[in-house]
Structure 1
Amino acid sequence: MMRIMGRLTAAASAMALVSLLPGASAAQDAPMTPEEFEAHVTGRTLAYAEGGEVYGVEQYLPGRRVIWAFVGEQCQRGWWYSQGELICFVYDEEPNPQCWRFFRAPAGGLIAEFADGEPGLSLYEAQNTEGPLICPGPDVGV
């Protein structure tokens, strides 16, 4: 999940923050299946946030391919696959899989919980668009 992003709208920010309210815990629900996740994201570009700040943006292409960018960094191309209840991402610049559990947020959108590494890292879908991810630098025009 990677680079550049426009400003969040107030409505998108409010919706995303509602998903973090007490009682909106994703851990109470079963993780999304790979099929549910794929149906939600394919053909879309999602911005993920943590604590009210955009963390990164990912464009989900057909065939489980992705383009990810942390805010302010270059885009990375990659792909995703399922491993049990986990959705794992592999990028050209980061070949080690990064696995997440995805849940439907009560107010709509997704909540992503990192499965390994940083304990407690939880991101929420702050914006969901049909537009492409805008990549600066060598990937201009992607």
Structure 2
Amino acid sequence: MIRPAPRIGALAAGLAVLLLGAPLQAEEPISPSAFGAYAEGYTLYFTEGGEYFGAETYAPGRTTLWQFRFGDCVRGTWRAHGGQICFRYEDGDGEEICWRMLRDEKGLFARLLGDGPDAGMELRVVRRDREPLRCGGPTA
């Protein structure tokens, strides 16, 4: 009598080891052109570690309007640099801030590149809508 059970059992055990050892959150890079198609005409809302971080409106011509938490807004631009997305803001010192856009089973997120103290920081997109930002500032 042929006993296939040990072979099937060994195969199942090997498959279980492969599956359990596989990363639970596979990351897929998003190209700058795919990001532009996703973001243009929308406001994206970001969290860091589950806490609200800020929002950014993406307009035609790769222009943006960023609002950190509940503060004032600042205008900026973005450009593709290889597989990165790099931003420059009017209130900055001219320095570019570059991110890699990624997708996992939870959705889209950005990882800060570079060698500064915040390198590796991740911002997760938690909402996307067509509502313009309401920027703070003095009221009349």
**TM-score with structure 2 length normalisation?**
0.75
- Give the 3-state SS of the residue equivalent to 1:93 in structure 2: coil
| Aligned counterparts of 1:41 and 1:104: Cα–Cα separation in 2 | 14
- 5+ unaligned residues in a row in structure 1: which ranges? 1-21
Identify the residue that residue 6 of structure 1 maps to in structure 2.
none
| Aligned counterparts of 1:96 and 1:25: Cα–Cα separation in 2 | 31
| Aligned counterparts of 1:79 and 1:47: Cα–Cα separation in 2 | 17
Identical residues among aligned pairs (%): 39
- Check conservation: 2:67, 2:73, Cα contact below 8 A: yes
Does residue 1:106 correspond to 2:105, yes or no? yes
CA RMSD of aligned residues (A): 1.6
Identify the residue that residue 77 of structure 2 maps to in structure 1.
79
Identify the residue that residue 51 of structure 1 maps to in structure 2.
49
| Aligned counterparts of 1:33 and 1:45: Cα–Cα separation in 2 | 19
Q: Residue deviations 1:8-48, cap 9 Å, x none?
A: xxxxxxxxxxxxxx72242xx2x211210101100000111
Aligned length: 114
Matched to 1:105, the amino acid is: D
Q: Residue deviations 1:36-66, cap 9 Å, x none?
A: 0101100000111011111110000011000
Matched to 2:24, the amino acid is: G
- Check conservation: 1:49, 1:125, Cα contact below 8 A: yes
Q: CA deviation at 1:120?
A: 2.5
- Check conservation: 2:43, 2:131, Cα contact below 8 A: yes
Identify the residue that residue 127 of structure 2 maps to in structure 1.
127
- Give the 3-state SS of the residue equivalent to 2:131 in structure 1: coil
- 5+ unaligned residues in a row in structure 2: which ranges? 1-22
Q: Residue deviations 1:49-102, cap 9 Å, x none?
A: 011111110000011000001103210001000111110000000121000000
Identify the residue that residue 24 of structure 2 maps to in structure 1.
23
Q: CA deviation at 1:125?
A: 0.4
- Give the 3-state SS of the residue equivalent to 2:96 in structure 1: strand
| Aligned counterparts of 1:58 and 1:105: Cα–Cα separation in 2 | 21
- Check conservation: 1:54, 1:126, Cα contact below 8 A: no
